[in-house]
A = this chain, B = another copy of it.
Amino acid sequence: MEISSAVTSLAALAHAGRLTVFRMLVQAGPEGLAAGVIAQRLSVPPSSLSANLNLLSNAGLIVSRREGRSIVYTARYDEMARLLGYLLDDCCDGSPEICRPLAERLSQAVHCFDSSNSASS
């Protein structure tokens, strides 16, 4: 991943409204949420939300699809993986004991770490 796209993604997330939206979409899964639903849940003007959804979309963190009259947004898990991977890539450089707690915190957050490791056995 290029540093410029990492910066773009981080900037997109560095905003309370957008971060909230993004986490909502991450939670929502592949089905996603319509723009109107998000605007209602967050009590935010449609035009403001649209601008922020656009920013997240341009950063590659979410995608949209039309579904009837609504436009449904979905989180891009692959891009999220790339971004977090980029932040972590140079970690643990020769010091496993330092990033051990980090790894534990991550596996706590991503529950399928356990299953992805035990399921392969």
Where the two chains meet, the residues of A that have a C-beta atom closer than 8 Å to any C-beta of B are 3-4, 6-7, 10-11, 13-16, 19-20, 23, 26-27, 29-30, 77-78, 80-82, 84-96, 98-113, 115-117
Contact = CB atoms under 8 A, between A and B. Distances in A.
What secondary structure prevails in chain A residues at the interface with B? helix
Q: How many copies does the complex hold?
A: 2
Nearest to A12: B14
Nearest to A107: B113
A105 B90 contact: no
A-B pairs with the 10 shortest C-beta distances? A10-B14, A11-B14, A88-B109, A81-B105, A96-B112, A81-B102, A85-B109, A27-B90, A85-B105, A14-B14
B85 A29 contact: no
